Amino acid sequence: MKVFLLADGSSAHTEKWVKSLLDNNVKVFLFSLRRISPLLESIVSNKFEVHSCEKNVRSNASAFNKSTYLNVIPEAKRRIKKFNPDIVHAHYISSYGLLAFLSGFRPYVLSVWGSDIMVFPKRSLFHKLIIKVILKFSSQVFATSKLMLDIVQKEFNKKESIHLPFGIDTNLFLPSENSIQEGNLTFIILKSLASTYGIDIAIEAFKEVKTNYPEKTIQLQIYGDGDKKEAYTSLAGAFLNKSIYFMGKIPNDQAPKALQQANVMVNVSRSESFGVSVLEASSAALAVIVSNRGGLPETILPNKTAIMLNELSVKECTKAMETYLNNPKLASQHGKNGREFVLANFQQEKLAALQIEAYKNITHKNKQEHR
């Protein structure tokens, strides 16, 4: 089988899907508007080709600015014709989905990732119309969360849609061999430093915990970069570089090691379409603290793999942190349960098999209809 992927070549999610398809003997061509990641560049072969336009078109550009995609349509069409795929798969419908539609190739399928279906259509009736048209002409839509599937089916009436979440490489995100020590806990955040992700709430909560338990050895490690960095470092106050550490942005392949050095993942986002980082943490057998927003509840089993906040507040986050601090056995058990949860429901290999089966069904149906 040959699959033409329209996706961001710099994304960790794209890396995962490409590797999974190649592992299943699928030939892949990746067409990206941005540069291809070093990891993907390193595996180019006769089974995997890439092309980057390096246009850096913002995925959240206005509907009218989407006209810039017209500049790359001739190249996309030429590459598709030469590769002669069985199917085109576009990841993120408001950008790469538009390219798939304008390419004229059929069949094409779509994967919705988050803001492309949850934010973009709400900007205007014209934005919503763009999404409706792209969805209408697609053969299948894959939603990475049940929340997004609900939007696709109910708001856009797209019945040819299924839930297919991002998978986790459980052989990469492995548990640490070190056990949690009494009174010694490391909390970790792996997120862009943006207001959406509630990092300010986590920092305030951690400061409360540290003040309440000065004798305990605890720390908060924050990985990522963004426009709120200065505000958040200021918020850390006297705890900065003493118990609250800003570790900077790290490459995707360093995330497993960072997780192994922590005990509890904190993701108290104000808005989140799914929560892949939560599943990666669970795969590494970390306990998790999450907000009850968006698709985050789909990534945990409350009180079995994680503590889910009843309300998004500093008080509730503080309570959750102190629960794990005072009960390391609970944190350890939640981590073990989380690993089992991911193995049973989110293994990359299993989800890739479902994806490929869907490809086969769609291409078979397409051939039958065009006999």
pLDDT in tens, 72-131: 999 999 999 999 999 999 999 989 999 999 999 999 999 998 889 988 999 999 999 999
Strands (E), 176-324: 184-190, 217-223, 244-248, 264-267, 287-290, 306-308
Residues 177-181, mean pLDDT to the nearest whole number? 79
The average confidence (pLDDT) of the chain is: 91
- Please report, for the chain, the start and end positions of each structural domain, with discontinuous segments joined by +: 2-166+347-369, 184-345
Q: The pTM is what?
A: 0.84
Which pLDDT band holds residue 63 (cuts at 50, 70, 90)? very low
pLDDT single digits (tens) 268-280? 999 887 889 999 9
Whether the predicted pLDDT of 67 surpasses 70:
no
Q: Give the pLDDT of residue 8.
A: 92
Q: Give the pLDDT of residue 39.
A: 87
CATH for the stretch 2-166+347-369: 3.40.50.2000
Q: Give the pLDDT of residue 62.
A: 47
CB 136, CB 107: distance < 8 Å: no
Helix (H, G, I), strand (E, B), or coil: what is residue 140? strand
Which pLDDT band holds residue 169 (cuts at 50, 70, 90)? very high
Whether the predicted pLDDT of 184 surpasses 90:
no
pLDDT single digits (tens) 244-253? 999 999 988 8
pLDDT single digits (tens) 3-59? 999 999 988 889 988 999 999 999 999 999 989 988 899 998 889 999 998 754 544
DSSP H helical ranges for 145-194 = 146-154
Long-range contacts: 15-20, Cβ < 8 Å, 24+? 15/39, 15/40, 15/252, 16/166, 16/167, 16/169, 16/348, 17/91, 17/352, 17/355, 18/43, 18/48, 19/43, 20/167, 20/348, 20/349, 20/351, 20/352, 20/355
Q: Give the pLDDT of residue 46.
A: 87
Q: Give the pLDDT of residue 275.
A: 86
As a whole-number percent, the residues of the chain with pLDDT over 90 amount to 77
Task: Please name the CATH architecture into which domain 184-345 falls.
Answer: 3-Layer(aba) Sandwich (3.40)
Q: Give the pLDDT of residue 82.
A: 96
pLDDT single digits (tens) 290-305? 999 988 999 999 999 9
